[in-house]
Structure formats: C-alpha cells, structure tokens
A and B are shown apart, each in its own frame.
Chain A
Amino acid sequence: DAMVIQNPRYQVTQFGKPVTLSCSQTLNHNVMYWYQQKSSQAPKLLFHYYDKDFNNEADTPDNFQSRRPNTSFCFLDIRSPGLGDTAMYLCATSRDGGGGHTGELFFGEGSRLTVL
C-alpha cells in the first residue's frame, strides 16, 4: 500500500544532542510537510517542500532544519534540541497546493521525540 513512513517511531535524546528524523513516501506527492504536535494539541507547521522548493514558516526556530534529497524522502534535523522540543513530529504529504486544491494531508505515524 502507498503510504508515508517515519523513522524512528520513538527517539530519546539528551539536551543539545542533534537528532535526525526521516520520512519516506510512496504516494508520489510533490508536497511534503513537517509538523510539530505537542500533547493533544493541533499540529503546528514547521516547513514544507513543493518539489525541491523549501518554505520555512516564520516562527519556526533556526534550530530546525530540513532536507529533501529526492521526491520520496525528507529529513528533519534538530541541531541542538531543548527540553521544549519534546513533541510528536509528523510528516505529511499532499498532491498539490494549487488553486482549488483542498489541501488534504496524508500523515505518517509520527516520531515521538523526548529530550532529557
């Protein structure tokens, strides 16, 4: 089945120790997103790629970076995690963001990050 796969599902790291989370998709969608979600809150968009075009949300900390080496893969790098970065990180895809598109998202199962 076509899907969005995130690894690892669970990650525990120490304060300041870099972390990389990965996402792969077999849906062949051209848009990929990274969201941060804290305890039963709505997801918060960090950034998205339209193909290789990277778009950062204005309030995404510089500590968060992303790479998309090809259509299928996307990575989230947290350079120096703080305690406040403990959260679920969700990767999502969508077909297109063009006019008239409803923006439906297909999410992975998430990577739960704990910073100690």
Chain B
Amino acid sequence: TQLLEQSPQFLSIQEGENLTVYCNSSSVFSSLQWYRQEPGEGPVLLVTVVTGGEVKKLKRLTFQFGDARKDSSLHITAAQPGDTGLYLCAGPSRDSNYQLIWGAGTKLIIKP
C-alpha cells in the first residue's frame, strides 16, 4: 500500500521565520505534487517534481524531490501571512492512472 506521511501536521510561526514541511513514503513515486489550499477554497497546484534530486523554486518556496523518489520537502523562506493554508502533497497511484495518493496535509498559520 502506498502511503504519504506529512509532517508536521500543524505549524504556527511568526512572519519572517523559515519553515520546512516534509512528505515521506516507503514507496517510490513517479512524481509528487504539492498543493496549497486556503480556507474555504479548492487546492491549487504549486509544483510537480518528477526527477530524483530535483529542486524547484517558486519565489520564496523551494521544493525538493528525494534522490530515491520516496520523499519531498517544501521549504518556505521568510514566511508571510499570505502563505497561511493547508499544504498537501500527492503522488500518482501505481494501481490507477486516475487515483492520487494524498498526504494528510500540513496546516500552516503565519502570524503577522
């Protein structure tokens, strides 16, 4: 069974601090996606990482895919209140072209 474990489940920090969110599995994934979901809205795709060891940057957000394609991390530099939301990682199921395996999410609150 493919599982994605996210940590921490909840994080509340002050504006300007740095943070890292982790998405780990014992299974290999062909790719992993990161979504951000603001309260009352649908998830929005931030990035897809495909190649082992890949690093992608989106302004203050840095995404990394582990060399073995079993884990990923999201690092936010100088967090801002606008970064508040639920961060979800997801990867394609090997059993279905249409099913995604989801992490449980990291609820992030950035206090001004």
Chain A residues in the interface with B (C-beta under 8 A): 4, 6, 31, 33, 40-43, 45, 48, 50, 55, 57, 90, 92, 94, 97-99, 101-110, 112
Give B contacts to A, CB under 8 Å. Answer: 30-31, 33, 35, 40-45, 48, 50, 86, 88, 90, 92, 96-100, 102-105, 107
Which residue of A48, A99, A101, A110 contacts B42 across the interface (Cβ within 8 Å)?
A110
Known: A102-B31, A110-B42. A31 touches B98 (CB 8 A): yes
Whether the Cβ atoms of A110 and B98 lie closer than 8 Å is: no
A45 and B99 contacting across the interface, CB-CB below 8 Å: yes
On whether the beta carbons of B33 and A42 are closer than 8 Å, the reply is no
B102 with A101: CB separation less than 8 A: no
Identity of the chain A residue whose Cβ is nearest the Cβ of B49 in the assembled complex? A102
28 A-B pairs in the complex with CB atoms less than 8 angstroms apart: A6-B42, A31-B98, A40-B86, A40-B105, A42-B102, A42-B103, A42-B104, A43-B43, A45-B99, A90-B43, A97-B98, A99-B97, A101-B92, A102-B30, A102-B33, A102-B92, A103-B33, A103-B97, A103-B98, A104-B45, A105-B33, A105-B100, A106-B45, A107-B42, A107-B44, A109-B42, A110-B41, A110-B42
